[in-house]
Structure 1
Amino acid sequence: MGLGGCEGRARADAAQSAARLLAAAEAGDRVAFEAEIDRPAVREDVRRQIVELARAEGLEVDGGPSDFALDRMIGPAAIRVVRADDGEPLAAQMKITGRDRACLPDENAKGRCLLSFRKREDGWRLVGMQAMDLTVEVAAVGD
């Protein structure tokens, strides 16, 4: 029962960070967005995805995209937030994937996360995101 309680609290805390991140994305608020991310971790996650995509297409690029190119891909404009029809709260959608990790799963691709969070000393931070066509469905506030 204690472990279940810890998982529930972790899920809620990660969901709060996700909600702040998504609100910043919706508002186009770069400062609030940056407060919720671990930029080096997100940069490496997006780089890995792009390198994998390139390899799947038969391209090999040493080192992958530059930090400059990646930083242009990581920002409020990269995340499209839409309202879900089912009204399921964000906390219910979050999945705990490890002692200090949480995931907002992609309902269209089993096992893939739209957004990945990791618990740091200062709270939960975004450490990974889907590199292309990132659309997150969330319930409207008050649903």
Structure 2
Amino acid sequence: MNNKTSTETSRNLAVLIWLRTIRITQKISRMAEQPLKELNVTGPQLSILNQLAASEGMSQQDIAKRLAVTKGNVSQLIDKLEEAGYIRKKKEGRSSFISLSDPGRRFIASTIPEHDQFIEEKFSVLTELEKEELLRLLRKVDQSL
């Protein structure tokens, strides 16, 4: 029996992969953001906090580049995180460098393990080998961009 939909039989395989990737990302993001809402943090804000946890003292431009979003969008998110007390900005010349505050570090330490566990559960339908292969393939596409 063929499990393909009529759309899948008429579309290019690369387009289908792209569409499926977006769909999965959107579904998981919506589910993952629910517990974050209770903490008054959005998914994009958590992404910034994750970036800062990995590399303190980044500029807004560096954060925007890593997240593949506009500097203006990052600026609004950073302002909200600063208001919440999770980050601090240090102005040097025309640039601002962003770091986690102590409350930001505590937030990351308490939130990330639960968030990671949730994501791991969503990918538990794959074996470890399948996850490794999927990650390898996605990195290959990412490097070509």
Verify same fold: TM over 0.5: no
Higher relative CO (Cα under 8 Å, sequence separation at least 6) belongs to: 1
TM-score (normalizing by structure 2): 0.30
Larger proportion of strand: 1
